[in-house]
Amino acid sequence: QYFLNYNSNKRSIVLDLKTEGGRQLLLDLAPHFDAFVENFGPGVIEQLNIGYEVMAALNPGIIYARIKGYGLDGPYANWKCFDPLAQAAAGAFSITGEADGPPVKPGPTMADSGTGMQTALAITAAWAQKMRTGEGQFIEISMQEVMTMFMRTTGVTQWGREPVKRKGHRGGAPTGMYACDPAGPNDYVYMLISDTRMWDRLCVAIERTDLLTDPRFASGRLRIAHADELDAEIATWTRRHTKFEAMRILCDGGVAASAIYDTLEVLHDPHLRARGFIEEVTHPIEGTITLMRSPLRMSRSNVPLRAAPLLGADTDAVLATELGLSEDAIGALRAAGAIV
């Protein structure tokens, strides 16, 4: 499922780059394509001798991108890295979790996915520059640096002075998460009350206009000072509603709020379904599978969603189309172990 979710609409070709034949095939393909991306562990590209200089000698216009956990130089350059490690090294664990609890690993793979998106943006920028100059270029992306960039707006007033503290779901009062009926593990609604106008709308939406004249909650500072009391007042309302009922009432009333979706609910969300973001496609082995489309919606680039290919499904077609190899030549490469 992991492979299927990340490889829709791609072709798959398998080369054994440790063999001379497989490496040569990659070099033969280099002049036929615009971009090359690698995220092997430290030193692998150097061992295979397929670095930027080698590729650029065959295709001066190539855009060559390298993704590394900590970049290509610096004290950590030779260390292995995975998504959680990049998040930890960027400070993401330190700001996640309750104030009186330990650091918590964020659930989404922000370092992996975020680095991929930043790499795609860099390649797009390099392509636009190539359209003007005709020249390709080398791109280096550090997962730690990408995650650090995502941290820029977190506790921005504290940066450089002291560590940003964990505060759980609390973002003020009554900004935060509230339990809903029927009290399951994800039966909560989150609301963000950004200003006095939103506070007024909240009180109207939950039919508690009496809170507007309650001296304990007469200002933002007072609401924070009496946060526990205010939470109790709001929770009496949220506990009478399911999280989706609360979400609808609050949002229809002009309050910024969302149910706490679990992953199954995301795949069945009527809004995402109505927009066609969640789609069922057919896979040759798995049968009908549920996938997410690209969130990019472009008026002249509407590409139908296709299931991820089987590993190496397009090896023969790519070698025949791009390099003009015959069936016999491809068969000989397979027998030699250069392709799979």
Of the listed 112, 231, 262, 328, which one is catalytic?
112
**Nearest alpha carbon to residue 69 among 94, 105, 44:** 44
For 111, phi then psi, to 5°, come to: -70, -45
Q: DSSP strand E in 237-320: where?
A: 256-259, 278-283, 287-292
Contact 34, 127 (CB under 8 A): yes
First-to-final CA distance of the chain:
22
CB 138 within 8 A of CB 68: no
Would you say 140 and 68 are in contact if contact means Cβ atoms under 8 Å apart? Answer: yes
* Peptide bond connecting 42 to the previous residue in cis, omega within 30 degrees of 0: no
Does the active-site annotation cover 252?
A: no
- CA–CA dist 108, 96 (Å, integer): 12
Q: What are φ and ψ of residue 324, in 5° steps?
A: 70, 25
Q: In sequence order, what are the beta bridge partners of 258?
A: 190
φ and ψ at residue 168, rounded to 5 degrees: 60, -140
Backbone angles phi, psi at 142, to 5 degrees: -105, 130
Asked if 123 and 35 count as a contact pair (C-beta separation under 8 A), the reply is: yes
**What are the beta bridge partners of residue 280?**
290
Distance CA 100, CA 161 (A): 21
Q: What angle do CA 191, 149, 272 make, to 5 degrees?
A: 45
Residue of 63, 289, 163 lying closest to 278 (CA atoms): 289
Going by their DSSP bridges, the two strands 176-179 and 137-142 should be labelled as unpaired
Q: H-helix or E-strand containing 128? A: helix 110-133
Residue 5 identity (one-letter amino acid): N
Catalytic residues: 112
